Protein backbone atom coordinates (compact mmCIF):
# COMPACT_ATOMS: atom_id res chain seq x y z
CA UNK A 1 0.00 0.00 0.00
CA UNK A 2 1.40 3.41 -0.97
CA UNK A 3 1.65 6.23 1.53
CA UNK A 4 -1.09 8.09 -0.38
CA UNK A 5 -3.45 5.11 -0.01
CA UNK A 6 -2.54 4.63 3.66
CA UNK A 7 -3.33 8.24 4.46
CA UNK A 8 -6.76 7.95 2.87
CA UNK A 9 -7.56 4.69 4.68
CA UNK A 10 -6.67 5.88 8.16
CA UNK A 11 -8.06 9.39 7.88
CA UNK A 12 -11.78 8.88 8.47
CA UNK A 13 -11.74 6.97 11.77
CA UNK A 14 -9.06 9.24 13.17
CA UNK A 15 -10.60 12.64 12.59
CA UNK A 16 -11.77 12.98 16.16
CA UNK A 17 -8.50 12.10 17.85
CA UNK A 18 -6.61 14.91 19.59
CA UNK A 19 -3.03 15.96 19.65
CA UNK A 20 -0.55 13.38 20.87
CA UNK A 21 1.50 16.09 22.61
CA UNK A 22 5.18 16.89 22.67
CA UNK A 23 6.06 13.34 23.59
CA UNK A 24 5.54 12.44 19.92
CA UNK A 25 8.77 11.77 18.06
CA UNK A 26 7.83 13.95 15.10
CA UNK A 27 5.00 15.46 13.08
CA UNK A 28 5.08 12.67 10.51
CA UNK A 29 2.08 11.10 8.79
CA UNK A 30 2.51 8.14 11.13
CA UNK A 31 0.74 10.32 13.69
CA UNK A 32 -3.00 9.73 13.32
CA UNK A 33 -3.96 13.40 13.66
CA UNK A 34 -1.40 14.46 11.07
CA UNK A 35 -2.53 11.70 8.74
CA UNK A 36 -6.17 12.78 9.06
CA UNK A 37 -5.28 16.42 8.38
CA UNK A 38 -3.17 15.45 5.37
CA UNK A 39 -5.96 13.35 3.89
CA UNK A 40 -8.44 16.20 4.24
CA UNK A 41 -6.13 18.76 2.66
CA UNK A 42 -5.23 16.45 -0.21
CA UNK A 43 -8.90 15.73 -0.88
CA UNK A 44 -9.89 19.41 -0.84
CA UNK A 45 -7.02 20.87 -2.84
CA UNK A 46 -5.52 18.00 -4.86
CA UNK A 47 -2.10 18.50 -3.30
CA UNK A 48 0.55 15.81 -3.44
CA UNK A 49 0.09 13.46 -0.48
CA UNK A 50 3.58 11.97 -0.60
CA UNK A 51 5.17 15.39 -0.79
CA UNK A 52 3.10 16.67 2.11
CA UNK A 53 3.94 13.65 4.27
CA UNK A 54 7.60 14.18 3.45
CA UNK A 55 7.31 17.82 4.55
CA UNK A 56 5.72 16.78 7.85
CA UNK A 57 8.46 14.23 8.38
CA UNK A 58 11.09 16.97 8.02
CA UNK A 59 9.26 19.43 10.28
CA UNK A 60 10.53 20.33 13.72
CA UNK A 61 8.26 20.76 16.72
CA UNK A 62 8.97 24.23 18.11
CA UNK A 63 8.78 24.50 21.92
CA UNK A 64 9.88 28.15 21.66
CA UNK A 65 6.79 28.93 19.57
CA UNK A 66 4.57 27.29 22.17
CA UNK A 67 6.16 29.42 24.88
CA UNK A 68 5.70 32.60 22.85
CA UNK A 69 2.06 31.92 21.97
CA UNK A 70 1.00 31.00 25.51
CA UNK A 71 -1.05 33.67 27.31
CA UNK A 72 0.99 35.84 29.62
CA UNK A 73 0.32 35.36 33.33
CA UNK A 74 -2.17 37.77 34.85
CA UNK A 75 -0.56 41.00 35.98
CA UNK A 76 -1.42 44.62 36.49
CA UNK A 77 -2.87 46.48 33.46
CA UNK A 78 -0.24 47.55 30.93
CA UNK A 79 1.11 51.07 31.09
CA UNK A 80 -0.10 52.98 28.06
CA UNK A 81 2.85 55.35 27.83
CA UNK A 82 5.31 52.45 27.78
CA UNK A 83 3.26 50.49 25.24
CA UNK A 84 2.80 53.54 23.01
CA UNK A 85 6.51 54.29 23.09
CA UNK A 86 7.24 50.95 21.46
CA UNK A 87 5.45 52.06 18.29
CA UNK A 88 5.03 55.83 18.24
CA UNK A 89 8.66 56.89 18.31
CA UNK A 90 11.24 58.76 16.27
CA UNK A 91 12.50 55.65 14.46
CA UNK A 92 9.11 54.53 13.19
CA UNK A 93 8.18 58.07 12.22
CA UNK A 94 11.43 58.54 10.29
CA UNK A 95 11.17 55.19 8.52
CA UNK A 96 7.48 55.79 7.91
CA UNK A 97 8.17 59.05 6.13
CA UNK A 98 10.76 57.27 3.98
CA UNK A 99 8.26 54.51 3.15
CA UNK A 100 5.64 57.14 2.34
CA UNK A 101 8.01 59.04 0.06
CA UNK A 102 9.22 55.88 -1.71
CA UNK A 103 5.68 54.67 -2.34
CA UNK A 104 3.83 57.94 -2.78
CA UNK A 105 2.25 57.01 -6.12
CA UNK A 106 0.84 53.72 -4.82
CA UNK A 107 -0.46 55.35 -1.65
CA UNK A 108 -2.12 58.21 -3.49
CA UNK A 109 -3.78 55.83 -5.94
CA UNK A 110 -5.12 53.60 -3.17
CA UNK A 111 -6.33 56.54 -1.09
CA UNK A 112 -8.15 57.96 -4.11
CA UNK A 113 -9.79 54.58 -4.78
CA UNK A 114 -10.70 53.58 -1.23
CA UNK A 115 -10.81 56.75 0.84
CA UNK A 116 -8.38 55.28 3.37
CA UNK A 117 -5.76 57.86 4.45
CA UNK A 118 -2.23 57.03 3.38
CA UNK A 119 -1.05 57.71 6.93
CA UNK A 120 -3.20 54.88 8.31
CA UNK A 121 -1.82 52.39 5.78
CA UNK A 122 1.76 53.48 6.46
CA UNK A 123 1.19 53.31 10.22
CA UNK A 124 -0.17 49.78 10.06
CA UNK A 125 2.87 48.55 8.15
CA UNK A 126 5.07 50.43 10.60
CA UNK A 127 3.48 48.94 13.70
CA UNK A 128 3.43 45.44 12.22
CA UNK A 129 6.98 45.06 10.89
CA UNK A 130 8.72 48.46 10.96
CA UNK A 131 8.19 48.63 7.18
CA UNK A 132 9.38 45.10 6.49
CA UNK A 133 12.53 45.06 8.60
CA UNK A 134 11.02 42.55 11.04
CA UNK A 135 8.66 40.36 9.05
CA UNK A 136 9.52 37.05 10.72
CA UNK A 137 12.40 34.63 11.09
CA UNK A 138 10.53 31.40 11.88
CA UNK A 139 9.85 28.63 9.37
CA UNK A 140 6.17 29.12 8.69
CA UNK A 141 5.39 25.44 8.14
CA UNK A 142 7.10 24.29 11.33
CA UNK A 143 5.50 27.11 13.28
CA UNK A 144 1.95 26.48 12.13
CA UNK A 145 2.33 22.70 12.29
CA UNK A 146 3.50 22.98 15.90
CA UNK A 147 0.55 25.18 16.80
CA UNK A 148 -1.88 23.04 14.82
CA UNK A 149 -0.93 19.79 16.54
CA UNK A 150 0.69 20.76 19.84
CA UNK A 151 -1.42 23.72 21.01
CA UNK A 152 -4.91 22.36 21.79
CA UNK A 153 -6.49 25.71 22.86
CA UNK A 154 -6.40 26.98 19.26
CA UNK A 155 -5.64 23.86 17.27
CA UNK A 156 -8.62 24.27 14.92
CA UNK A 157 -7.64 27.83 14.05
CA UNK A 158 -4.03 26.96 13.33
CA UNK A 159 -4.91 23.88 11.29
CA UNK A 160 -6.96 26.12 9.03
CA UNK A 161 -4.02 28.51 8.78
CA UNK A 162 -1.64 25.64 8.01
CA UNK A 163 -3.98 24.49 5.26
CA UNK A 164 -4.10 28.02 3.86
CA UNK A 165 -0.29 28.19 3.94
CA UNK A 166 -0.03 24.99 1.92
CA UNK A 167 -2.52 26.23 -0.66
CA UNK A 168 -0.82 29.63 -0.83
CA UNK A 169 2.60 28.06 -1.39
CA UNK A 170 1.13 25.87 -4.13
CA UNK A 171 -0.59 28.79 -5.85
CA UNK A 172 2.49 31.02 -5.59
CA UNK A 173 4.79 28.18 -6.67
CA UNK A 174 6.97 28.71 -3.59
CA UNK A 175 8.56 25.83 -1.65
CA UNK A 176 6.64 25.90 1.62
CA UNK A 177 9.85 25.12 3.51
CA UNK A 178 11.29 28.47 2.36
CA UNK A 179 8.48 30.65 3.77
CA UNK A 180 9.27 32.58 6.95
CA UNK A 181 6.73 33.97 9.39
CA UNK A 182 6.23 35.39 12.85
CA UNK A 183 5.96 32.99 15.80
CA UNK A 184 2.19 32.97 15.19
CA UNK A 185 2.45 32.27 11.45
CA UNK A 186 1.89 35.81 10.11
CA UNK A 187 3.50 36.58 6.75
CA UNK A 188 5.18 39.45 4.98
CA UNK A 189 5.37 43.19 5.52
CA UNK A 190 1.72 43.52 6.62
CA UNK A 191 1.78 40.30 8.68
CA UNK A 192 -1.25 38.68 7.10
CA UNK A 193 -2.13 35.23 8.35
CA UNK A 194 -2.20 32.79 5.41
CA UNK A 195 -6.01 32.80 5.30
CA UNK A 196 -6.05 36.62 5.26
CA UNK A 197 -3.49 36.62 2.43
CA UNK A 198 -5.74 34.36 0.37
CA UNK A 199 -8.84 36.43 1.19
CA UNK A 200 -7.61 40.04 1.14
CA UNK A 201 -4.27 40.27 -0.67
CA UNK A 202 -4.48 41.99 -4.07
CA UNK A 203 -2.15 42.82 -6.93
CA UNK A 204 -1.26 46.47 -6.45
CA UNK A 205 0.89 47.09 -9.52
CA UNK A 206 -0.78 44.96 -12.17
CA UNK A 207 2.06 42.46 -12.65
CA UNK A 208 -0.33 39.51 -12.09
CA UNK A 209 1.59 38.44 -9.00
CA UNK A 210 1.04 39.21 -5.32
CA UNK A 211 4.16 39.57 -3.20
CA UNK A 212 3.63 40.83 0.33
CA UNK A 213 7.26 40.22 1.25
CA UNK A 214 9.02 42.53 -1.20
CA UNK A 215 6.48 44.52 -3.22
CA UNK A 216 5.23 47.64 -1.37
CA UNK A 217 2.60 48.32 -4.04
CA UNK A 218 0.96 44.99 -3.28
CA UNK A 219 1.32 45.62 0.46
CA UNK A 220 -0.34 49.04 0.29
CA UNK A 221 -3.23 47.80 -1.85
CA UNK A 222 -3.74 44.69 0.29
CA UNK A 223 -3.79 46.56 3.62
CA UNK A 224 -6.33 48.98 2.16
CA UNK A 225 -8.43 46.12 0.84
CA UNK A 226 -8.43 44.49 4.27
CA UNK A 227 -9.71 47.69 5.87
CA UNK A 228 -12.34 48.26 3.17
CA UNK A 229 -13.63 44.72 3.47
CA UNK A 230 -13.98 45.14 7.23
CA UNK A 231 -16.13 48.24 6.90
CA UNK A 232 -13.88 51.31 6.75
CA UNK A 233 -15.90 54.54 6.46
CA UNK A 234 -14.17 57.15 4.25
CA UNK A 235 -13.85 60.70 5.57
CA UNK A 236 -14.76 59.65 9.10
CA UNK A 237 -12.56 59.84 12.21
CA UNK A 238 -11.16 56.79 13.96
CA UNK A 239 -11.37 57.97 17.57
CA UNK A 240 -12.21 61.11 19.55
CA UNK A 241 -10.21 62.38 22.50
CA UNK A 242 -12.49 62.49 25.52
CA UNK A 243 -12.78 63.79 29.05
CA UNK A 244 -15.04 62.31 31.68
CA UNK A 245 -17.09 63.63 34.55
CA UNK A 246 -17.95 61.28 37.35
CA UNK A 247 -17.40 57.57 36.80
CA UNK A 248 -18.76 56.52 33.41
CA UNK A 249 -18.61 52.82 32.75
CA UNK A 250 -15.58 51.63 30.81
CA UNK A 251 -16.22 48.09 29.62
CA UNK A 252 -13.71 45.58 28.42
CA UNK A 253 -14.94 45.57 24.85
CA UNK A 254 -13.75 47.37 21.72
CA UNK A 255 -16.91 47.34 19.62
CA UNK A 256 -18.63 50.73 19.22
CA UNK A 257 -22.09 49.71 20.39
CA UNK A 258 -23.20 52.66 22.55
CA UNK A 259 -24.77 55.81 21.03
CA UNK A 260 -22.61 58.86 21.70
CA UNK A 261 -25.67 60.61 23.09
CA UNK A 262 -25.88 57.95 25.80
CA UNK A 263 -22.16 58.29 26.56
CA UNK A 264 -22.59 62.06 26.84
CA UNK A 265 -25.42 61.58 29.29
CA UNK A 266 -22.99 59.54 31.38
CA UNK A 267 -20.55 62.45 31.51
CA UNK A 268 -18.33 61.76 28.52
CA UNK A 269 -17.24 64.82 26.55
CA UNK A 270 -15.52 64.43 23.19
CA UNK A 271 -13.23 66.69 21.19
CA UNK A 272 -14.47 66.74 17.62
CA UNK A 273 -17.92 66.64 16.15
CA UNK A 274 -19.94 63.46 16.06
CA UNK A 275 -23.70 62.99 16.11
CA UNK A 276 -25.44 61.64 19.21
CA UNK A 277 -26.79 58.81 17.06
CA UNK A 278 -23.31 57.61 16.10
CA UNK A 279 -22.04 54.63 18.06
CA UNK A 280 -18.81 54.54 20.01
CA UNK A 281 -17.00 52.80 22.83
CA UNK A 282 -15.35 54.51 25.78
CA UNK A 283 -11.70 53.48 26.15
CA UNK A 284 -9.36 54.10 29.07
CA UNK A 285 -5.58 54.20 28.70
CA UNK A 286 -3.75 54.09 32.02
CA UNK A 287 -0.46 55.85 32.71
CA UNK A 288 0.39 54.85 36.25
CA UNK A 289 -2.22 56.46 38.48
CA UNK A 290 -3.36 58.79 35.68
CA UNK A 291 -5.42 57.94 32.62
CA UNK A 292 -6.56 59.33 29.30
CA UNK A 293 -9.88 58.59 27.67
CA UNK A 294 -10.90 58.13 24.06
CA UNK A 295 -14.07 57.17 22.27
CA UNK A 296 -13.45 54.61 19.55
CA UNK A 297 -15.65 54.82 16.44
CA UNK A 298 -16.31 52.47 13.54
CA UNK A 299 -12.92 53.03 11.87
CA UNK A 300 -11.16 52.36 15.16
CA UNK A 301 -13.03 49.06 15.35
CA UNK A 302 -11.95 48.24 11.80
CA UNK A 303 -8.31 48.63 12.82
CA UNK A 304 -8.91 46.19 15.69
CA UNK A 305 -9.86 43.57 13.10
CA UNK A 306 -6.15 43.56 12.32
CA UNK A 307 -5.28 42.96 15.97
CA UNK A 308 -8.02 42.73 18.58
CA UNK A 309 -6.45 45.14 21.04
CA UNK A 310 -7.44 48.71 21.83
CA UNK A 311 -3.80 49.50 22.69
CA UNK A 312 -2.71 48.21 19.29
CA UNK A 313 -5.35 50.19 17.42
CA UNK A 314 -4.60 53.41 19.32
CA UNK A 315 -0.90 52.99 18.54
CA UNK A 316 -1.79 52.81 14.84
CA UNK A 317 -4.03 55.87 15.16
CA UNK A 318 -1.40 57.95 16.93
CA UNK A 319 1.47 56.86 14.68
CA UNK A 320 -0.72 57.81 11.70
CA UNK A 321 -1.36 61.22 13.26
CA UNK A 322 2.37 61.73 13.86
CA UNK A 323 3.17 60.78 10.27
CA UNK A 324 0.42 63.03 8.90
CA UNK A 325 1.69 65.94 10.97
CA UNK A 326 5.27 65.39 9.84
CA UNK A 327 4.41 65.06 6.16
CA UNK A 328 2.18 68.16 5.90
CA UNK A 329 5.02 70.71 5.56
CA UNK A 330 6.56 68.60 2.79
CA UNK A 331 3.25 68.41 0.95
CA UNK A 332 2.68 72.15 1.36
CA UNK A 333 6.07 72.93 -0.19
CA UNK A 334 5.47 70.83 -3.29
CA UNK A 335 4.47 72.75 -6.46
Residues in the chain: 335
Q: Find out whether 212 and 219 touch, Cβ atoms under 8 Å.
A: yes
Q: Which are the catalytic amino acids?
A: 128
DSSP one-letter string for 162-197 = HHHHHHHHHHHT--GGG-EE-TT--BTTTTB-HHHH
Long-range (24+ apart) CB contacts under 8 A made by 19-27 are 19/149, 19/150, 19/151, 19/152, 19/155, 20/149, 21/150, 22/61, 22/63, 22/150, 24/61, 26/56, 26/57, 26/59, 26/61, 27/56, 27/57, 27/59, 27/61, 27/145, 27/146, 27/149
Amino acid sequence: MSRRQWVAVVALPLLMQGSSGLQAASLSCERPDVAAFTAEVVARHALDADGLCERFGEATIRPDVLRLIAPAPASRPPDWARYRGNFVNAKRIRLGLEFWDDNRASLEAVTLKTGIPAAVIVALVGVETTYGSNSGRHKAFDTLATLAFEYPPRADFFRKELESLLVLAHQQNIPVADIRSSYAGALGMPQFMPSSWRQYAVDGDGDSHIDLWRNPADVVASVANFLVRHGWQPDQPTALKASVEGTPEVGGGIKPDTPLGELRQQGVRTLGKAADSESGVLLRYGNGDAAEYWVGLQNFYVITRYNRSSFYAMSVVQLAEALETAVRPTVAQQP
